[in-house]
Amino acid sequence: MKRKLSNRIRLVCTVLMMLAGFCACQTNPEKPVRFAIASDFHAPDIPDGEQRVAAFIQAANDENVDFIIELGDFCRLDSASQVYRDLWNSFPGGKHHVIGNHDMDRYTYKEYTQGMNMPGRYYSFDQGDFHFIVLDGNNLFDGKGYTHYAKANYYVDAKKRAYIDPEQMEWLKKALAATDKRCILFSHQSIEQALNNGAEVRKILEAENERTGFKKVVMAFGGHNHSNYSKEINGITYVQINSASYVWIGEPTQSEKRYSKEVNDRFGGILKYSMTYTEPLYAIVTLNSNGATLKGKNAEFMPPTPEELNMNDSVGVFPLVSSIQDINVKF
């Protein structure tokens, strides 16, 4: 009788412990990580740069994200760009930058990173259960050595630019190995397409996943190409974030039909050879242990549109689109 009573007591205790654990899970649900991401504002070089940056910051506030990040080619360090920096810094949460190639048109990387209050040209940070890694692909390689972009020195043969340097490669390996969290990468030049040694970077990411035996490196975001797509390569999802402002066509696009003579005279260097989006493009990303949800933004091309000008549906290998499409990624 005593033995039966003892067994019943143990059974009741086990059930109570299971219920307590269930209640704890219900009262302490997983907190997702959320961030707002944009790229290639080129804010000083377009007529409505201030409005586009302001709209992004407003969306980030409305969505109550944990941090904001831009993937390069944002603004300059002069007094005329102070308005963009002030808007950016008005966001109350975390704020992160990535160096873009045009950020090096007038500055060295040390000048730019210091001016933008960046911790370095490449760096990493934690947010919740995720580790985020920012890379710097703004390096020249002449077959012998590496030189960082500085004051527009990168207008050379395309095969000689857009590299991750060896020092950074070694740092990346250590940064990945040093964390137990899932990892997400940001770079200006896309790892899967624009970096000339992107295959080497991908090998490092894939090797870390193989070493740990689980899907540790899950996503990588890039800008630079003013386009939008996503693709999975060996278990890692690569996302191309479209420009917040326009796409570079490289030939006249009848800008005189989009803007006044005054605006074209002031911003003609960009507008003449580009097609502007009617609204700023950006995305809100939500992460949890199961995966990622990216909510993008759709806009239109300011007329005359690519269709009206009988253009192809791509610029080189990159889709010619005025949107950032929604995606869902399973980890």
pLDDT per position as a tens digit, 286-325: 999 999 999 999 999 999 999 999 999 999 999 999 999 9
CA angle 299, 36, 45 (to 5 degrees): 55
Amino acid at 277: Y
Instruction: Report pLDDT for 16.
Output: 44
CA angle 195, 132, 45 (to 5 degrees): 55
**Side-chain half-sphere exposure of 179, counting CA atoms within 13 A:** 22
Q: Angle of helix 198-212 relative to helix 166-177, nearest 10 degrees?
A: 20
For residues 106 and 150, what is the distance between their CA atoms, to the nearest angstrom?
Answer: 7
**Is residue 52 very low, low, confident or very high in pLDDT (cuts 50, 70, 90)?**
very high
Instruction: Report pLDDT for 11.
Output: 46
Q: What is the DSSP letter of 258?
A: T
Mean residue pLDDT across the chain = 93
Residue bearing the bigger pLDDT, 6 or 103: 103
Please give the average per-residue pLDDT across 198-214, as a whole number.
Answer: 98
pLDDT over threshold 70, residue 26: no
Task: Give the rounded percent of residues in the chain with a pLDDT score beyond 70.
Answer: 92
Instruction: Report pLDDT for 252.
Output: 95
Instruction: Report pLDDT for 268.
Output: 79
> Is the distance from CB of 194 to CB of 182 less than 8 angstroms?
no
- According to CATH, what is the number of the domain 34-330? 3.60.21.10
Q: What is the pTM of this model?
A: 0.91
pLDDT over threshold 80, residue 1: no
Please give the average per-residue pLDDT across 235-252, as a whole number.
Answer: 97
**Is residue 30 very low, low, confident or very high in pLDDT (cuts 50, 70, 90)?**
confident
Please give the average per-residue pLDDT across 59-86, as a whole number.
Answer: 98
State whether the Cα torsion 28-58-328-130 is positive or negative. negative
The three-state secondary structure class of 171 is helix
Residue bearing the bigger pLDDT, 15 or 173: 173
pLDDT over threshold 80, residue 22: no
Instruction: Report pLDDT for 28.
Output: 60
- For 165, counting Cβ atoms within 10 Å of its Cβ (0-12 exposed, 13-18 middle, 19+ buried), the class is buried
12-21, 60-69, 297-306: lowest mean pLDDT where? 12-21
The three-state secondary structure class of 257 is helix
pLDDT over threshold 70, residue 14: no
For residues 152 and 150, what is the distance between their CA atoms, to the nearest angstrom?
Answer: 6
